[in-house]
Amino acid sequence: METTDVSDSSPTKSGVGGILPSLTTLFLCVLSFLSGLGVYYFYGQPNLTARGVTRRNLARMGRTFDAFFEENDRFPDPDQWQDEVRRGVGPVFVEQELLDGWNNLLQYKLVKLGKCEVYVLYSIGLDGIDSNGAGDDMVFPVGGYD
């Protein structure tokens, strides 16, 4: 009976040597992906946080204006609203609530619609340009009373 030599004489790689380059490539791809997430988290997250702070402060100011109206039967004067809100709310008021998440002063306007007077409260947004509530400005839902 004749026997054949079955030693490794084929040109293809097998075993750990063939898997190692593909594991290295996979590791580098995963590392690259995770690095991208890190860049998003550390550089993209502040804008998400700024939007959240802005939404919170707009809602708090809206509630403050509603409470001011209930006590005074009018909304704050647009030219003096910061001072009137500071006096009306008392010691629980935080100065930072007058600002949006990008440290811009919240904008406030009174608009007459027939017999009804409504207020518009908004942030000028990330670009810092007052677009009267348009563009990237963040607007609090309009509030008003007859």
Q: Is residue 18 in some structural domain?
A: no
Q: Is residue 5 in some structural domain?
A: no
The count of structural domains within the chain is 1
Q: Is residue 89 in some structural domain?
A: yes
With b for 16 or more beta-carbon neighbours within 10 A and e for fewer, the 44-81 pattern comes to eeeeeebbebbeebbebbbebbeebbeeeeebbeeeeb
Q: Is residue 3 in some structural domain?
A: no
8 Å CB contact between 123 and 100: yes
Helices then strands, counting H and E runs in the chain, come out as: 3, 4
98-130 per-position pLDDT tens digit: 899 999 999 999 888 888 888 889 999 888 888
Q: Report the alpha-carbon distance of residue 90 to residue 87 in Å, rounded.
A: 6
13-44 per-position pLDDT tens digit: 555 555 656 767 766 656 566 555 554 444 45
Q: What is the pTM of this model?
A: 0.60
Query: What is the extent of the structural domain holding 98?
Result: 31-140
86 contacts: CB under 8 Å, gap ≥ 6: 93
Q: Is residue 72 in some structural domain?
A: yes
Q: Is residue 134 in some structural domain?
A: yes
pLDDT of residue 146: 42
CATH number at residue 78: 3.30.700.10
Q: Is residue 51 in some structural domain?
A: yes
Average pLDDT, integer, range 67-90: 82
Q: Report the alpha-carbon distance of residue 146 to residue 139 in Å, rounded.
A: 21
